[in-house]
Amino acid sequence: KNQVEQSPQSLIILEGKNCTLQCNYTVSPFSNLRWYKQDTGRGPVSLTIMTFSENTKSNGRYTATLDADTKQSSLHITASQLSDSASYICVVTHGSSNTGKLIFGQGTTLQVKP
Amino acid sequence: DAGVIQSPRHEVTEMGQEVTLRCKPISGHDYLFWYRQTMMRGLELLIYFNNNVPIDDSGMPEDRFSAKMPNASFSTLKIQPSEPRDSAVYFCASSLTGGLSALNYGYTFGSGTRLTVV
């Protein structure tokens, strides 16, 4: 079954600290993996997109890694800010990058406290 | 570009009433997607269109749900009759195909319509 599992379900950290969110998937065939940030009351916004041949991709303080062999990805947030408080959703494309279906994880809710 | 525009932002309706959600995709995008998000199930794909044609509606929960895309700049998702279990946030998203274009730009989501059926 094609699934995307994220951990932890929720996380609370202090402002300025780093954190790492995990994503494991069993999707096959797989073409790409995305991390989205969803602020409360808003739609998801893309942070990174990686194909199966990419190991890492950065977007500012966000760095995503991908191990296609073990089917694991992580999102590392450096020097967290209050504005990082949001849900982070891992999404894997099942099939081709143009027409494949997106398989969504349940998300990790991050709360950054001052 | 204003992004994907959805209306209304919030909708409260009584059980049994018809509900219509609206979406304007980003100009030039040829794929349009309707998603539903709940706490229990997360984001679920309901249906998607390519060049205004429905391609996959296997995610539509029941015959009470229908979606149309009469032209490249407008789509509707209709629920008739609505039920309390339809309460959720409904997102519309669009994307641009073309190999690397789709990969680089990914999907763009609207801000969603929060539907409450009482």
Q: What is the pLDDT of residues B59-88, one digit of tens each?
A: 898 899 999 999 999 999 999 999 999 999
Per-residue pLDDT tens digits for B39-49: 888 888 899 99
So what's the pLDDT on residue B53? 93
Lowest mean pLDDT among A6-10, A14-18, B6-10, B92-96: B92-96
Which residue is closest to A99 within chain B, CA to CA? B97
Give the DSSP H or E segment for B100: helix B100-105
A69 contact partners, CB below 8 Å, separation of at least 6 = none
For the cut 90, the answer to whether the pLDDT of residue A72 exceeds it is yes
Average pLDDT, rounded, for chain A: 92
Are A97 and B42 an interchain contact pair (Cβ–Cβ within 8 Å)?
A: no
In A, which residues are within 8 Å of B109 by CB distance? 43-45
Instruction: Give the integer Cα–Cα distance in Å for A66 and A83.
Output: 25
**Beta-carbon-side half-sphere exposure of residue A84 (alpha carbons within 13 Å):** 27
pLDDT in tens, B7-33: 999 999 999 999 999 999 999 988 899
- A49·B102 Cβ contact <8 A: no
pLDDT at A53: 87
Chain B residues closer than 8 Å to A45 by CB: 109
Question: A105 with A98: CB under 8 angstroms?
Answer: no
pLDDT digits (tens, 9 = 90+) for A37-63: 999 989 999 899 898 889 999 999 999
Q: Is B45 in Cβ contact with A98 (below 8 Å)?
A: no
Residue B1 banded pLDDT, cuts 50, 70, 90: low
